[in-house]
Chain A
């Protein structure tokens, strides 16, 4: 049946060669793979031309040259790279060119390879190269493969004559633009945990840029001598590492790929020979090495770009004693004398942060050469730390920053060995965006930005980082910016040490600051901030902030409003620097709530008990006043008696009025339903959903009113996740009238243009689910099994359960941590319901594929808290099962 075209022997040879190379690479030997694959492909073209001649499919009558361009031209083919070809004719393209390319390329096509080809005359190449820099770049990589060398030699001669100094510079400028585009599109690969190996900054494309610049300038008769011999060797090593990584990535993915996603990292790390005693460590070591290689490529690419792109070299001008500003950035007046004036090494970075001008490559080289002497000369001196703090405060731009370069040269590590030990640490999860060193510097940058904006340096009305305007108030009150910045610098440095990094960090910070002769009060403040840097995020997102006990406990731990200001700023900066998964508007709102409530406690003292009672009375009065004329007063009184005291305690009076109105509508709906279904089934499934945008962007408040019944919350949670909503928090109010008014805070519905349709659909689904017409479990399972459901990236998390009976007098606090998945809240709530536990309040904190759900529960039989050990074990077991992936 199958009539495949007669296979070409050359193609069969290539297939066998590729098979053998893939085999070797899969077995773990990546050495020279790209070059060997290129060589095997070269052989195919030579063989194929001979084969065609022998089979009388004579190639063209006119002379032509077969050229490899692009990655193939560079001889760096990864397993699934495109193979780009150029068939070059001297003058005109003859009619037989089409038959020729077909005969050459079809066998490759049938092998399933990705091909790109062009057929051009020399003249076309030259004019295209003139008008399109992309063609110019590809021709700079061209390599003669087979055919007639004549056209190739002619082309080279003409090409060399066409490129002058002006063209080379214009080309370099175009490459600079491309580099900026790459950064905005693919990010800085040297600091990302899922870097793009080709297009990210520090990726292979950066190396290509350098090569192209060198070649273009060489054609124009200029030799670029930016780098030393050692630096070139280091660059070659980085290139080999990147190419091996990309090769292993292609093999792991089974196709062409450039982004090193989590899923493939373990196999790539193994292929490159990394191993470790615990799973994940190999990946962390591998990523550290990859980041180092990409950092090298990135900074060399920058230096080369600066060297090529000057219009006319600016004259050197003195900038400060010992420093010059020159054409390629800031320079030392006497680079060799750096050892005698070590302070200049920090000054040049400070000057760079202040002026926004880069430090020149020569100056960086001088710093690197002097590192062994600079470390001891600068370490452990109070002045050094003061200079660093000045540098951080001046360096609040995002993007390429002086402190980043300071870290990349190794100077920061030479001064602070603790930073050096931690900087390359990578955490193998999908939560952290950056390795630790980059995270630390980003956290410090955000803190500095808060401090600068808060102290009145915000003339142009810039937005506060993360949109947290309250942080500016807090930062305006910070009396010692240095303390806060040093805490930001130290907060995570103990992560490489075994044990809890907050606790370990205290000793580390104390030792470090003492060595540098910091005053005792600064040391104590920093030690406190490091120890407690996770306290605010955990408390704000997982505790019931309406409980006086939680807040007074927090106030007791924090102690003073002064420390609270600093702790809150550190928490916000740390979360923002971690990545988008650690931060959303809801988290921001919880942080703010915690901050303001705790601050009030610390400045105005605790609320006394009678106050809480008075608040209930006041709320009742306000509700009565607001309801006057809208509802019958007897109905309002009935509602006020029926609702739980907690509602009056924690809700504002407008919300209570809305609840009253909703209760009225629920009564009407129930009555109507009972009239229509007199069989006693009346009222089942009646459910009202009312939605209101909150003052937190991206968050809605849903109030659901229904007749209370066991498992109602689990059903509602299931319905909400079926409709693609994330639940951030839930507060359940059960009225003595038998009604349940549940208050949810949820994310924007997927269709934010028509939110009302979403709420109507949710109300219908809830109705069907409550009347048994919608099988939630199977519908959720269907959703999970959809081919579009995203497989969990990153590692899997084991569920964990903890129980706390001390926090509240009436409720047991249960915390479930697990890997997030669709319908998880529904499953946990259902488990709690089956255990006979009533949920009062639920808080759902999701960050980076993990959830920490907190429930305040009590026994449905009215026994209050869950305290018997046996019962606790039962609860724990059931929740662990529910939390499974």
Chain B
């Protein structure tokens, strides 16, 4: 099992969600986050003074999928989140050791 974290533009959330649902991804966790990447925040001028805006608002979508499905899920998420401009975000893939569904105690792939 792998965890896929998709950090993307806030307005792309729905498109990514739909693309993942289309693939039959059953659940996801969404968080509002702030950060910066290569775009490095940006400068804004307020009443004559320059301010550095360090962090940009993004959403983070986390899903856990069977290892064999990582490639298609990442590809679908990337397609949906793509605008081609700086600030499109990133996707991280990491291994997951175990999952438990609290209601039933099911573990492993049955629980995702």
Contact = CB atoms under 8 A, between A and B. Distances in A.
Interface of A: 1-5, 110, 112, 114, 255-256, 753-754, 787-791
B1 to A, nearest CB: 11
Interface stretch (B27-35, B45-53, B66-74): B66-74
Contacts of B71: 787-791
A788 B93 contact: yes
A326 B86 CA distance: 54
Given A4-B105, A114-B24, A787-B93, 7 more contacts: A2-B104, A4-B104, A255-B24, A753-B86, A788-B71, A788-B74, A790-B71
B105 A3 contact: yes
Nearest to B71: A788
B105 A1 contact: yes
Contact of A2 (B2, B38, B86, B106): B106
Contacts of B106: 2, 4
B86 to A, nearest CB: 6
Nearest to B107: A2
6 contacts: A114-B24, A256-B24, A787-B2, A787-B70, A787-B93, A789-B71
Interface of B: 2, 24, 38, 67, 70-71, 74-75, 84-86, 93, 104-106, 110
B104 A5 contact: yes
B4 to A, nearest CB: 10
From B24, B75, B93, residue with most partner A Cβ within 10 Å: B24
A788 B70 contact: yes
Q: 10 nearest interchain CB pairs? A: A2-B105, A787-B70, A4-B104, A788-B71, A256-B24, A788-B74, A3-B105, A255-B24, A1-B105, A787-B71
Contacts, number: 32
A753 B88 CA distance: 12
A112 B104 CA distance: 13
B64 to A, nearest CB: 14
Nearest to A2: B105
B22 to A, nearest CB: 10
Contacts of B110: 112
Contacts of B24: 114, 255-256
Contacts of A787: 2, 67, 70-71, 93
A255 B71 CA distance: 16
Nearest to B38: A754
A110 B101 CA distance: 11
B40 to A, nearest CB: 13
A112 B106 CA distance: 12
A753 to B, nearest CB: 6
Nearest to B67: A787
B67 A3 contact: no
A871 B85 CA distance: 53
A2 B107 CA distance: 9
Nearest to B86: A753
Contacts of A788: 70-71, 74-75, 93
Contacts of A1: 105
Contacts of A791: 71
Nearest to A4: B104
Contacts of B74: 788
A593 to B, nearest CB: 31
Contacts of B105: 1-4
A255 B66 CA distance: 13
B81 to A, nearest CB: 15
B104 A110 contact: yes
B87 to A, nearest CB: 11
Contacts of B84: 753
Nearest to A80: B24
A124 B26 CA distance: 28
A115 B67 CA distance: 24
A841 B24 CA distance: 48
Contacts of A790: 71
Nearest to B110: A112
Nearest to B95: A787
Contacts of B85: 753
Nearest to A788: B71
A114 B26 CA distance: 9
Contact of A3 (B70, B86, B104): B104
A93 B24 CA distance: 30
Nearest to A1: B105
A114 B86 CA distance: 37
A692 B106 CA distance: 57
A80 to B, nearest CB: 8
A197 to B, nearest CB: 15
A159 to B, nearest CB: 30
A754 B86 CA distance: 10
